Amino acid sequence: MSKAALPDWAITLLAALLVLALWVGVTSGGLVRDLFLPGPLDVWSGLQDLLDEGYKGRSLFEHIGMSLMRVLAGFLTGALAGTALGLAMGYLRPVDALASPFIEFLRPLPQLAYLVLLIVWLGIDESSKITMLFLAALPVSAIAARDGVRNVVPERVRAAQALGASPWQVFRYVIAPGALPEILTGARLAAGIVYGTLIAAEIIAGSSGIGWMILDAGRFLRSDYVFAGILIIGIAGFGIDRLLLWLERRVVHWAGK
């Protein structure tokens, strides 16, 4: 690599500044109406209004908190249950034969396809949304854990068995740690799916949260609120992904070495 090359952070900053400059140029030059694309100052003003006055009887932080609560509840329960099921599927062939058809059926199924059923069964409150997020995280985490078990180096398993390790000790000290990198990678994928599904669920069947706020503001042509909400969603999603990436690097720092 050339010593004169820009560092990664500088390239990222330049790209962000270029997008910002194009945004300012398009909006300030009158090429696009504010209704379709508000300028950065308009979005900043809308964000300040939301911070000061909230939206429809709730503060902005209440809407953010409701969305994050749903994400955490659905993601944690789905990821934990999926990981436990995936480990069992990878380690025990009968469990895989039993559960794999259901997991493979659920994995490509669009989550919004069964949201209506969940609303009919559980109502329009939090139960239906969290259950849908649980079902979104479950198959991704299960498949990642199952594949992680299957990709454990066989020589390590045989070495542990040769040293007299019991089946539980082989699973506890060899298979589970060996599958951990793929489990955490699956968790990151599941978190992204859950986060995107949440916004769609709030738009369709919500009365609070950032997704619902964006939809409701759009009905009243408040594009500044809509873009402020989109920025909040993007920043929060980026933060969740960076947190999981940091956790992955700390927990499985040996991966790839």
> Model's pTM, two decimal places?
0.83
Residues 255 and 249: their CA atoms lie apart, in Å, by 8
214 neighbors 229 (Cβ within 8 angstroms): yes
Asked if residues 181 and 252 have their Cβ atoms less than 8 Å apart, the reply is yes
d(CA 235, CA 128): 26
Burial class (CB in 10 A: 0-12, 13-18, 19+), 184: buried
For the chain, what are the domain ranges? Answer: 59-251
Multiple choice CATH, 59-251, 3.10.20.30, 2.40.37.10, 1.10.3720.10, 2.40.100.10: 1.10.3720.10
Residue pLDDT tens, the chain, 257 long: 455 577 888 888 899 899 989 988 888 877 888 778 898 999 999 999 999 999 988 999 999 999 999 999 999 999 999 999 999 999 899 999 999 999 999 888 887 778 888 888 888 788 888 999 999 999 999 999 999 999 988 888 889 888 888 888 988 888 988 899 999 999 999 998 988 888 878 877 778 889 899 989 988 889 999 999 999 988 988 888 888 888 888 887 666 55
DSSP the chain: --TTSPPHHHHHHHHHHHHHHHHHHHHHTTSS-TTTS--HHHHHHHHHHHHHH-BTTB-HHHHHHHHHHHHHHHHHHHHHHHHHHHHHHHH-HHHHHHHHHHHHHHTTS-GGGTHHHHHHHH-SSHHHHHHHHHHHHHHHHHHHHHHHHHTS-HHHHHHHHHTT--HHHHIIIIIHHHHHHHHHHHHHHHHHHHHHHHHHHHHHH-SSSHHHHHHHHHHTT-HHHHHHHHHHHHHHHHHHHHHHHHHHHHHTTTTT-
Q: Which residue bears the tokens 């436990």?
A: 84
Q: What is the Cα–Cα distance from 136 to 190, expressed in whole angstroms?
A: 7
pLDDT of residue 114: 82
Instruction: Give the pair of three-digit tokens for residue 49.
Output: 């209004």
